[in-house]
Amino acid sequence: MEFDNLQIGPEIYGELLQGCVYERALFTGQQIHARILKNGEFYSRNEYIETKLVIFYAKCNVLEVANRLFHRLRKHNLFSWAAIIGLHSRMGFSEDALLGFCEMHENGFLPDNFVVPNALKACGALQLIGFGRGVHGYAVKMGFGGCVFVASSLVDMYGKCGVLEYARKVFDDMLERNVVAWNSMIVCYVQNGMNEEAMGVFYDMRVEGIEPTRVTVASFLSASANLYAFKEGKQGHSIAVLSGLELDNILGSSIINFYSKVGLIEEAELVFFRMLEKDVVTWNLLISSYVQYGQVKTALNMCRLMRKEKLRFDSVTLTSVLSASADTSNVKLGKEGHCYCIRNNLDSDVVVASSTVDMYAKCERIDYARRVFDFTTQRDLVLWNTLLAAYAELGLSGETLKLFYQMQLEGVPPNVVSWNSVILGFLRNNQINEAKDIFSQMQSLGFQPSLITWTTLISGLAQNGSGYEAILLFQKMQELWIQPNIVSIISALSACIDIASLEYGRSIHGYIIRHELFHSIPIATSLVDMYAKCGSIDQAKKVFNMILSKELPFYNAMISGYALHGQAVEALALFNHLKEEGIEPDNITFTSVLSACGHAGLVNEGLELFGDMISKHHVKPSMEHYGCVVSLLSRCGDLDEALQLILAMPFEPDAHILGSLLAACKEHHDIELGKYLSNHLFKLEPENSGNYVALSNAYATAGRWDEVSKLRDLIKEKGLRKSPGCSWIQIGGELNFFVAGDASHPNTEEIYMTLALLVREMQFMGYVPMVSNAEVLCS
DNA sequence: ATAGGGTTAG
């Protein structure tokens, strides 16, 4: 057909372009554009056509072309302005959108109720509440107040700026509300963390009989996921199905997100495989959910499948991969992930940077962690906290504190997480008083300690031998109406380590029963452990028999309890039972059985176990294992062989292993070896009076009273017994020291005086004397 | 005009 001969006016081309706008038919529109240009300036420089072209390219989101055509216009009008502002606003060039809005106004064009929503969207994106209020005022003055489009945009804008009251007021004042208005209100609450309120609006909407859209359900599911609201979320899914809503990427992702947050991975998978189109977000959701539930292999497999689908990993995918590497201490995988980030420019993302730092720290590569941190340009609170936590974990309290000040100098105020790390850093470095100082400092600066703060302090004190203080803190925490959770209960139980704390342990047990936490395996494990340490092996056995768990740590707790009570036969029986159940014992199991053999003098059994452990169970012997065998050998008098074993170990001997051999010197009157060992020990642990006690025991049994009293004076002179954190064990050691001398010491009177005073002091400090102490007093 | 995903503390 010969188009050139036909009389087609410019307005026909305009109509055709409008059709392309409706259809978003970019290619056809470009053909028409070409034809217009070929037709000459009468067509191409026609204001109506030029405006239509701007609108067409703007609606097709072709920013550059739309911009160029717009700037070439001799005369702008309301429509071209509206198109270009809308385009910028849609594409996220919010500043340009608002500049356009101002310029348009200055040039005498009054933005209409189609432009105002776009301007408001830009205000929301930039969180410019002042500008937003101005636009609001303009809209009211122009009489757009009743327009649902404008009002819905206002709700959204105020929500994005975090001013909930204004959003709610605009919403409440609306005379008619369509579904978008309702959706905006729901989204507004979800985005500001007010999930209950979001659900409330959803239910109001249901009562009003408004049909939900995908946006409604997706937002409702977000709220359910954030609240871990199992029932509500399932209802949301049902509504989506019943309303016949199309399972698009966003709705599908919301459903998957909900299921994975509440731990229903199978349900999440079901939805995932039912979705016809899946994008990066959908895949990422499933991947991160696998990582979160420890299924690293499945997660990595999903990554491979994702690549097969020709989808590119983004920063969220890599965050999951790095987090998986951190969880499994897989530095090889972590490095691969890190390198992928560098190659693909994902390492500039702050979240990726945090996971990278965390990954290297958890893989025991603090030097790399630090380097990655130093190379970041943008540092947010979480990134600082990640490095703080890494230093704290290692007990590098000085570095932690330095970083804590540095972040403040760089204008990032710390939060509770940061404070918690500072406290942890001190505790891990045995700086109890400093930790407590920070704890009160944070409170005086107005930071409420969180449950984690309390738990950190409680378990730290317990691990540093201040169990009694830890128990008091646990009680104080409850007085402040802070509900303990499983982790904090376990840390409180770990503070109960001797008969003196049995009562507290029992009361925590009561709490556990009242709050029906009994079926948590970690809690049951800690209970067994607590009762065993507090001298109540029968109670430990009762708890153990009540729970049917085949988990190794649970068995380990009971076996170590038997070992502690010298019940080697029971320990060995349970060990054999465990093997019959097909559970592979670990290094902890062997430590307990070996030490049980040591206490019971079961030399042959112990040595055989030690051999089996290495050859059959492929457990690399630790210092503790060697320690057990050393005490086993020294018990039956093989002090030389024990010493040979120590010298042959692949470790530098620690104070504990030397101490156990030193203790044996008392039984076997080996003063020479005792002196040799003590010399090492005094250097290793100058603060531990136990070593002096052990040596004096050896002297005492050999009748060398001159040496005994020399050592006693030395202990007093060094003020060791009064050192901070002086524990019951040390006092117990002192008692033994005096006991050792009582049979033939020339001044028995004095010894009993001292003993009585010591026992009274013990009681004053809240300790209940052990049976052996009481026996000493009675004899 | 409204919608989905990732990182830190016990």
How does DSSP classify residue A309? T
pLDDT score at A320: 98
CA distance A737 to A214: 78
Q: Is strand B within 7 Å of residue A260 (CB)?
A: no
Q: Is strand B within 7 Å of residue A428 (CB)?
A: no
Q: Is strand B within 7 Å of residue A326 (CB)?
A: yes
Round to a whole number and report the distance in Å from the CA of A246 to the C1' of B4.
14
pLDDT at A751 over 60: no
Instruction: Give tens-digit pLDDT for A327-340.
Output: 999 999 999 999 99
Q: Is strand B within 7 Å of residue A138 (CB)?
A: no
Give the nucleotide nearest to A489 (CA→C1'): B10
Round to a whole number and report the distance in Å from the CA of A411 to the C1' of B4.
33
pLDDT score at A498: 87
Q: Where does the pLDDT of residue A722 fall: very low under 50, low under 70, confident under 90, or very high at 90 and above? A: very low
pLDDT at A698 over 90: no
Q: What is the pTM of this model?
A: 0.81
pLDDT at A548 over 90: no
**B5 C1': nearest CA residue:** A281
Q: Is strand B within 7 Å of residue A358 (CB)?
A: yes
Q: Is strand B within 7 Å of residue A356 (CB)?
A: no
Give the nucleotide nearest to A256 (CA→C1'): B4
Give the nucleotide nearest to A485 (CA→C1'): B10
Round to a whole number and report the distance in Å from the CA of A346 to the C1' of B7.
14
Round to a whole number and report the distance in Å from the CA of A396 to the C1' of B10.
17
Give the nucleotide nearest to A225 (CA→C1'): B4
Give the nucleotide nearest to A248 (CA→C1'): B4
pLDDT at A754 over 70: no
CA distance A96 to A428: 52
**Angle in degrees, 0-180, between the axes of helices A115-126 and A148-160, rounded to the nearest 10:** 10
Span A102-131, mean pLDDT?
A: 93
Q: DSSP string of A333-381?
A: HHHHHHHHHHHTT-TTSHHHHHHHHHHHHHTT-HHHHHHHHHH-S---H
> Residue A13's CB: how many other CB atoms inside 10 A?
22
Q: Is strand B within 7 Å of residue A181 (CB)?
A: yes
Least trusted range by pLDDT, from A47-61, A182-196, A385-399, A615-629: A47-61
Q: Is strand B within 7 Å of residue A493 (CB)?
A: no
pLDDT at A521 over 80: yes
How does DSSP classify residue A111? -
Give the nucleotide nearest to A417 (CA→C1'): B9
Q: Where does the pLDDT of residue A32 fall: very low under 50, low under 70, confident under 90, or very high at 90 and above? A: confident
Q: Where does the pLDDT of residue A279 fall: very low under 50, low under 70, confident under 90, or very high at 90 and above? A: very high
Round to a whole number and report the distance in Å from the CA of A24 to the C1' of B7.
39
pLDDT at A770 over 60: no
If we measure between CA atoms, which residue out of A699, A618, A693, A684 comes closest to residue A653?
A684
Least trusted range by pLDDT, from A97-101, A360-364, A406-410, A684-688: A684-688
Least trusted range by pLDDT, from A340-344, A519-523, A689-693: A689-693
pLDDT at A729 over 90: no
CA distances from A100 to A108, A131, A326 (A): 12, 14, 47
CA angle, corner A21, sides to A18 and A26, nearest 5? Answer: 120
Q: Which of residues 600-659 of A touch strand B (CB under 7 A)?
A: none
Q: Is strand B within 7 Å of residue A292 (CB)?
A: yes
Q: Where does the pLDDT of residue A662 fall: very low under 50, low under 70, confident under 90, or very high at 90 and above? A: confident
Give the nucleotide nearest to A285 (CA→C1'): B5
Q: Is strand B within 7 Å of residue A222 (CB)?
A: yes
Round to a whole number and report the distance in Å from the CA of A326 to the C1' of B6.
14
Q: Where does the pLDDT of residue A716 fall: very low under 50, low under 70, confident under 90, or very high at 90 and above? A: confident
pLDDT at A425 over 50: yes
Least trusted range by pLDDT, from A215-219, A274-278, A710-714: A710-714
How does DSSP classify residue A177? -
Question: Looking at per-residue confidence, does A63 or A290 come out higher?
Answer: A290
pLDDT score at A123: 95
How does DSSP classify residue A650? S
Quick one: tokens of A12? 């026909």
* Mean pLDDT (chain A, rounded): 88
pLDDT score at A641: 87
Span A377-384, mean pLDDT?
A: 97
Span A264-289, mean pLDDT?
A: 96
pLDDT score at A199: 95
Q: DSSP string of A225-274?
A: HHTT-HHHHHHHHHHHHHTT----HHHHHHHHHHHHHTT-HHHHHHHHHH
The answer to whether the CB of A171 falls within 8 A of the CB of A177 is yes
pLDDT at A95 over 70: yes
pLDDT score at A564: 92
Q: Which nucleotides of B are covered by protein (CB under 7 A)?
A: 1-10
Q: Which of residues 502-521 of A touch strand B (CB under 7 A)?
A: none
Give the percent of chain A with pLDDT over 90. Answer: 66
Quick one: tokens of A429? 């470095």
Question: Looking at per-residue confidence, does A53 or A485 come out higher?
Answer: A485
pLDDT score at A752: 54
How does DSSP classify residue A3? G
Instruction: Give tens-digit pLDDT for A197-235.
Output: 999 999 999 999 999 999 999 999 999 999 999 999 999
Span A25-30, mean pLDDT?
A: 82
Instruction: Give tens-digit pLDDT for A155-171.
Output: 999 999 999 999 999 99
Give the nucleotide nearest to A117 (CA→C1'): B1
The answer to whether the CB of A562 falls within 8 A of the CB of A568 is yes
CA distance A618 to A621: 9
Q: Report the C-alpha dihedral over residues A91, A93, A99, A104, rounded to 10 degrees.
A: -10
CA distance A523 to A473: 19
pLDDT at A119 over 90: yes
Q: Which of residues 101-120 of A touch strand B (CB under 7 A)?
A: 117-118
pLDDT at A703 over 80: no
pLDDT score at A584: 94
Largest CA distance in chain A: 135
pLDDT at A618 over 80: yes
Map residue A128 onto helix, strand or coil: coil
> Which residue has tokens 């540093």?
A464
Q: Which of residues 78-97 of A touch strand B (CB under 7 A)?
A: 86, 90
**B3 C1': nearest CA residue:** A215
Q: Is strand B within 7 Å of residue A453 (CB)?
A: yes
